[in-house]
Amino acid sequence: MITRSFDGKRSELQEFIRIWDIAYKFAANHQKEPLLGFILSNITGHASAQIQDKVVHNWHELNEILQQFFSEKKTESQLMEELNTLRQKSGRKNNVILQSGAIQTNQNLKYLFTNESN
């Protein structure tokens, strides 16, 4: 049985999500609700306090809530620096690299500004 818990440390979020994502993916449909309860019981401390008033129906909703509250956040200048330092990889055209970088930066900025209000 998996016993990985999460207490709100941003550096541990992705590992927690990775482990429970795999478990939820392979759970039979009739096991998903009890598994979600077990996952919730492994969220402790500060993280538990932050999400206690949230209504969660499935793992995907919980994953999104955890990402919103606890994912690593980057400043706008960090995101712009990442965009400016994209390097062309062999076999890819400049516009493809810039488009993928712009899309990722746009998603990161949207996430950043959405979560600043929380």
Residue 107 CA to residue 74 CA, distance in Å, equals: 12
**pTM of model > 0.85:** no
Residue ranges per domain, the chain? 10-70, 76-116
pLDDT in tens, 2-46: 558 999 999 899 999 999 999 999 999 999 999 999 999 999 999
pLDDT level of residue 89 (50, 70, 90 thresholds): very low
What SS3 class is residue 43?
strand
